[in-house]
Each structure stands twice: as structure tokens, then as C-alpha cells.
């Protein structure tokens, strides 16, 4: 129970499941995992992406199996090993791995950005590296892996087109999102929706420091809405939410958690920390509607 309490209170910690492919160590945020099951035979899907092994149906639920070894350009997995069954962006997906080592609690502050010390294939689909005892654990970017295989699972930019022409507004918005690609896509989407004054940062710490600087200068009116991802190095979105909502001078600023991890448990955490709204990453159209509502901007 201690683990749950600590992780629910915005302490900037996460639990990482360490697993292996060949002799290489990788990690995934435990919050994304539904269950771990032994490998079972899959049904191949005709004309599928090379990294898709096939589909299977445990308990009458169809799940797509992805070969992580193939995603990492290490060949093709053979039958055996384990499936890590995940849920994020409202998708149930199983990732085929060789073995599971265990769960480690770490601070987002201890996760360092990938650099040239890891392979190009790993660097393109990793969000950070943890030094644990005598080894490095590479945290993989599972959202990017899935969107690379099927781009339709990413931000639904068509929702922005459906909104139609919008009046430009200089309502100041602060965005914290560590993915360079998603950061740019969200800013572009907000610009298209008329929100042209977006200050964007690559983690919660940079966003928080900016807001604290405005507070010091008595210019908090320059932040009318905060949008934050959950999973970010240095400071995660739950920690940022806790700091903003526990400070009398900033607690009334509307804060939206916009994350791939808005499942039932994570929603409860966000609510307990004071988030005003929580949306799943594909819902970019809903994000605009919620901002409209929270900052009371009409479409006229």
C-alpha cells in the first residue's frame, strides 16, 4: 500500500518494469501495464506492419501483439517469452519480450535524456535512461512505437479541421510536453484553433519555473491555462499539478492533464491532485473545446 500512496500524491516518482530483449535492459512505466502473460500463439494479420506479430484473444478481447525485438531492429522474435499487455491512448496492445527482471521505483529527476551512447534505433523510440546499479535501463517510448506502426493512433488532427475557421486569440497558455513531435503538433493544433499565444516547455520543471518567475514579477495574468503531459523527465505532470494546485496564488489557473495515460486509476490520481480536466492524447478536438470552456472564449 505504501507504494500506491506515494505514487498517488504527486511525489515525482514512477515505478518502472525492467525487461530484457537479448541481453539488453529496457523499461516501461508500470502505470501503462494491464498484465503480464506467458507467450501464446498469435494469428498473423495479412499485409500487416512487419513489427506486428498478429492478434490473439485472451478472455474474448482481441489484442494486437507487437514484436519489440523487430521495433528495435534486432531481428524477429521466436515463440516463447512473455507478453506485456498495456493500455494507453485507449488501446490494448501486447508487447513481446524475452523476460521480466522486476519493478524499480525511481524519480523522474533521475531519468536522463537519451544521447549518442545508445543505438539510433533505440534513440528514436526512447524517452530516457535510468542508471540502476551496474546497468543502464532504456525507457522506451511506447506511444511512438505504436504511432510509427499505425499513425492513426496519434493525435487526430482531422478534429481540428472539423472545428472550422476560428477567431485568433492571445489567451496565454502554458504547455508541458516532453515529446518534441507531440509538443509541436499540439502547439500547431492550438494555433489552428486560434490560440496563438502558447509558451511550451519540454518538462514540468521548466513550465513550473516559468510560472514561478511570473508569480515573482506579479504577472500571473500571463497564464490563463496550463496543459500538461503526465510522463516527463525532471518533473512529471502529477507533480506539476500538485505544486500549482497547492499554491493559493496559482490554484485557480485551469489545468488540463493531456496524456496517453488517462485510465481509471490515473484519472483518480489527477482528480485528487486538483486537475480541472483530464483528456486522452488522441482527443485534440476535445482539448480545444475544454480550453474554450475553461477560459470562457466564444467561437465568435
Average pLDDT, the chain: 88
pLDDT of residue 126: 86
With a cut of 60, say whether residue 278 has pLDDT above it: yes
Give me the mean pLDDT over the 67-93 stretch. 92
- Owner of C-alpha cell 500549482: 244
With a cut of 60, say whether residue 297 has pLDDT above it: no
CA atoms within 13 A of residue 61's CA, in its CB half-sphere: 12
**Partners of 84 in beta bridges:** 36, 95
pLDDT of residue 8: 52
pLDDT digits (tens, 9 = 90+) for 198-224: 999 999 999 999 999 999 999 999 999
With a cut of 60, say whether residue 273 has pLDDT above it: yes
pLDDT of residue 280: 86
Written as one string, the DSSP assignment of 33-76 is EEEEEE----B--TT--TTEEEEE-GGG--EEEEEHHHHTTS--
Backbone angles phi, psi at 185, to 5 degrees: -65, -40
Provide the percentage of residues in the chain whose pLDDT is more than 70.
88
pLDDT of residue 88: 84
With a cut of 80, say whether residue 252 has pLDDT above it: yes
pLDDT digits (tens, 9 = 90+) for 128-182: 899 888 899 999 989 889 988 987 766 666 666 666 667 778 899 999 998 887 8
With a cut of 60, say whether residue 4 has pLDDT above it: no
With a cut of 80, say whether residue 197 has pLDDT above it: yes
Amino acid at each position: 500500500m505504501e507504494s500506491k500512496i506515494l505514487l498517488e500524491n504527486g511525489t515525482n516518482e514512477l515505478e518502472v518494469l525492467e525487461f530484457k530483449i537479448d541481453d539488453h535492459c529496457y523499461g516501461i512505466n508500470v502505470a501503462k501495464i494491464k498484465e503480464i502473460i506467458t507467450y501464446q500463439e498469435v494469428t498473423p494479420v495479412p499485409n500487416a506492419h512487419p513489427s506486428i506479430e498478429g492478434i490473439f484473444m485472451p478472455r474474448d478481447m482481441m489484442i494486437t501483439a507487437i514484436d519489440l525485438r523487430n521495433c528495435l531492429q534486432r531481428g524477429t522474435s521466436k515463440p516463447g517469452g512473455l507478453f506485456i499487455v498495456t493500455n494507453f491512448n485507449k488501446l490494448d496492445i501486447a508487447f513481446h519480450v524475452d523476460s521480466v527482471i522486476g519493478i524499480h521505483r525511481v524519480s523522474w529527476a533521475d531519468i536522463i535524456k537519451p544521447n549518442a551512447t545508445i543505438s539510433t534505433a533505440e534513440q528514436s523510440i526512447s524517452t530516457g535512461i535510468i542508471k540502476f546499479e551496474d546497468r543502464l535501463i532504456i525507457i522506451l517510448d511506447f506511444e511512438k512505437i505504436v504511432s510509427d506502426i499505425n499513425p492513426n493512433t496519434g493525435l487526430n488532427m482531422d478534429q481540428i479541421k472539423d472545428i472550422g475557421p476560428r477567431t485568433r486569440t492571445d489567451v496565454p497558455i502554458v504547455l508541458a510536453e516532453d515529446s518534441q513531435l507531440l509538443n509541436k503538433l499540439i502547439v500547431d493544433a492550438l494555433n489552428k484553433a486560434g490560440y496563438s499565444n502558447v509558451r511550451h516547455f519540454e518538462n514540468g520543471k521548466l513550465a513550473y519555473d516559468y510560472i514561478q518567475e511570473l508569480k515573482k514579477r506579479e504577472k500571473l495574468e500571463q497564464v490563463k491555462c496550463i496543459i500538461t503531459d503526465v510522463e516527463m523527465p525532471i518533473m512529471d505532470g502529477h507533480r506539476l499539478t500538485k505544486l500549482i494546485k497547492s499554491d493559493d496564488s496559482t490554484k485557480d489557473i485551469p489545468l488540463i492533464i493531456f496524456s496517453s495515460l488517462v485510465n481509471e486509476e490515473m484519472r483518480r490520481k489527477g482528480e485528487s491532485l486538483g486537475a480541472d480536466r483530464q483528456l486522452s492524447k488522441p482527443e485534440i478536438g476535445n482539448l480545444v473545446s475544454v480550453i474554450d470552456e475553461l477560459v470562457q472564449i466564444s467561437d465568435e
